[in-house]
C-alpha cells in the first residue's frame, strides 16, 4: 500500500483565498484524522471521522475551517477565507477499526498564507 497520501505537499496562498487540502487514507482503514502542527501549539487534533462520519470536531479552530469525507477513500480540509495565522503543516492520518491499532500519518501539507 502507498500509505496515506496528502496533496498538495506545499501550498502558498494569499490571505482571503480559499484553500483545500486533500487526503487519501489507507484502503480499508475506518478512521481518518486531521492534525495541525505549528511551532506555537505543537500537534493538535482538528477533527476525526469514523466510517466517513465526523465524530469529534471540537478541535476545529473556527467556522472558517470545514472538513468532509464524501467516501471511504477521500477527505478534504477547507479553509475559507484563509488567514496568515493558518500557516502550519497539516497532517492526515488513518487507522483500521478495532481501536487497538496504530494510526499511519501522511507526509503533510505545508500551508503558507501570505
Partner 1 sequence: GDSVTQMEGPVTLSEEAFLTINCTYTATGYPSLFWYVQYPGEGLQLLLKATKADDKGSNKGFEATYRKETTSFHLEKGSVQVSDSAVYFCALSDEGTSYGKLTFGQGTILTVHP
Which parts of 2-113 are beta strand (E)? 5-7, 10-13, 19-24, 31-38, 42-50, 53-56, 65-71, 74-79, 88-95, 104-105, 109-113
- Which segment (14-22, 67-75, 77-85, 96-104) binds partner 1 by CB under 8 A? 96-104
Site for partner 1 in 23-82 (CB under 8 A): 31, 33, 42-45, 48, 50, 56
95 is a site residue for partner 1 (CB under 8 A): yes
Contacts of 15 (CB under 8 A, 6+ apart): 81, 82, 83, 84, 113, 114
Nearer to partner 1, 54 or 81 (CB): 54
Binding site for partner 1 (CB under 8 A): 4, 31, 33, 42-45, 48, 50, 56, 91, 93-95, 99-103, 105-108
Amino acid at each position: 500500500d502507498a500509505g496515506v497520501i496528502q496533496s498538495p505537499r506545499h501550498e502558498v496562498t494569499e490571505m482571503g483565498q480559499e484553500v483545500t487540502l486533500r487526503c487519501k487514507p489507507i484502503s480499508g482503514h475506518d478512521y481518518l484524522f486531521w492534525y495541525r502542527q505549528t511551532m506555537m501549539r505543537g500537534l493538535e487534533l482538528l477533527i476525526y471521522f469514523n466510517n466517513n462520519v465526523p465524530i469529534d470536531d471540537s478541535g476545529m479552530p473556527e467556522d472558517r475551517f470545514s472538513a468532509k469525507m464524501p467516501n471511504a477513500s477521500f477527505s478534504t480540509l477547507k479553509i475559507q477565507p484563509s488567514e496568515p495565522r493558518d500557516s502550519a503543516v497539516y497532517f492526515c492520518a488513518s487507522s483500521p477499526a478495532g481501536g487497538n491499532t496504530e494510526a499511519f500519518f501522511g507526509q503533510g501539507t505545508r500551508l503558507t498564507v501570505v
